[in-house]
Structure 1
């Protein structure tokens, strides 16, 4: 699947270093240091409500991570999926009387346009689930053959107990949740813990056998379509290999999606899926998490149609730490637009060189900017570092800071 156009990123003098990143599995800040190439997987959208600010905040967080790696001199290999066949998409298509394929294509293109406008770095591998049906069916067949999966009627389920016995993966190792909480979240987030015939209520669906009126494909697992978690396991292993650098996504994916994707990958490869599991917080609006059902989505496309400068929107999102849960208020754009105005004015007069004192202030601001984003992607701290420099009222500026702001924060002034 085609991704979107990649923005140019200036090369900033000096070297950054690998970032410290919060690891959900351990609760610690760990160094996200690649061996050579930084391999990143971030779960993509189910294309029926693209692109609300919760989506944008998540992808901006891992865009920042990529920029820190690039500043440190690493090459980045980024992969992302699109869940272009799943129950929520099919249900929305049925409600609106639109073919599910058309709905998915429309929403994916909207997502691409929004990401490009925000100057989010695109994935090198952008894979739709419908493009890898054969590979997912084969992976499901492998798990059946290894007695790590079983059938309930014609559907195929992952056997959590068997996987824990035969691999190093342990349920709960990433999320740290107790079983009661897992059961509640499974029911809330696409699982079917009450289905009769399952060996464990938490066992997730790998392959859904064909039903009348639903899309299905032939595969080694039978006629049907993939379950949710196995798609990301297969796509990540295909494009990034095992034990890659960072698995990212929103905090609502910690369980069951990321926990069980890691289990599937361990059962298929014999190795961990990723070294670090990193999660962005949730964005609320009008007192609730953004949700199509609640009618409280703030859409990037709608803001763009209203004439909002994407740079101001990006600054408004960067003003919050990526791991925090926070609420969007419409006046945030006023604050971000004012910050953008101040920064633009401060960098309006460019010079090849400035006096020694001004040059030192620029170098200090760059050092503080780099230190902030390296420390768990502290973008609020990074904005403060630039604000402090702007407050010195520079008469002129060399390319150093504008390039750094562009390279590390994605704001082209």
Structure 2
């Protein structure tokens, strides 16, 4: 991705003084390796955890903390003015308080005041600090002003402590950065108060203790949907079948499953209180009628085994039938063209069969959709029977997720939070 003048996107990476500062090195590497020009601006406290030489070696740019270095270049003004994105990771409680109240006592806080590009603050602190009323008020004030304050992850903190306040993994932060560079308005807080249930990954149907029937789904699209929804304010339940060793998105309740029947039960449970249900998982259409107790042996003196298959339930269709008033149901269709029709036509037919509100149609095969970082397709709506297909252009899976949540948010405008399952449970 480049700017219109052909230059590389310019990112200011702020680093505040918390133990999670060491993760900023990984984030910096990920951003520079994908072609971004990164200038690291740490606080003086951050340099107690990671030295300036490390940031300079990884970024190729000088590192300063105060406003009196390089005075002729006026860095405390220029850095914010020329940046395409400012991201602070980790953002401590102290940094959030200064940003919320306009304090500017070092180079980083001055940069935050002069930035007119998207600003992403990624908190990291102990749970008690994150939940303190002062921090919550500062976060609310920053979000009201248009600053993107990410949801922290839950997990191991410093020492033996564990809870919400952990810095999300660098890969996830980098994904959010790329999303904001592609679309600066991709993360509004328009899903506040909503509960969304999302399925992801490919189910595995056991044949014996060793083998299974499965598919090529990596789960990346479903995880991207969950990640973006959480950062747009939703309470997210992510039901994940087999995935490609993906880290759980920050701020998401993760439920692990294996088979189609397990996924069915988990999604039924999650849908009870969901305003939106998204079936992005690649569910096996069939499973072995019986599962062998022992590994099926290959032998020259025995006939080849015959595997009898039985049909798995249509989970999406069931969720549509049992949905609550006001609940939106979104499906995904991985399609290939054949002699009868193309992927889009097959998708329209599936929309009519399933009865969901929205359907994302992905053309698969030849490096498309499965096991890759990008995705594209069409978005169909039941309102017109899928006649007007909205194109989802090729881009990162987080970009497609943001486009889908845009469409969902518009449909939720006239449905008050809690009008679906959470009200009638």
Higher fraction of helix:
1
Q: TM-score, normalised by structure 1?
A: 0.29
Q: Which structure is higher in RCO with an 8 Å CA cutoff and minimum separation 6?
A: 1
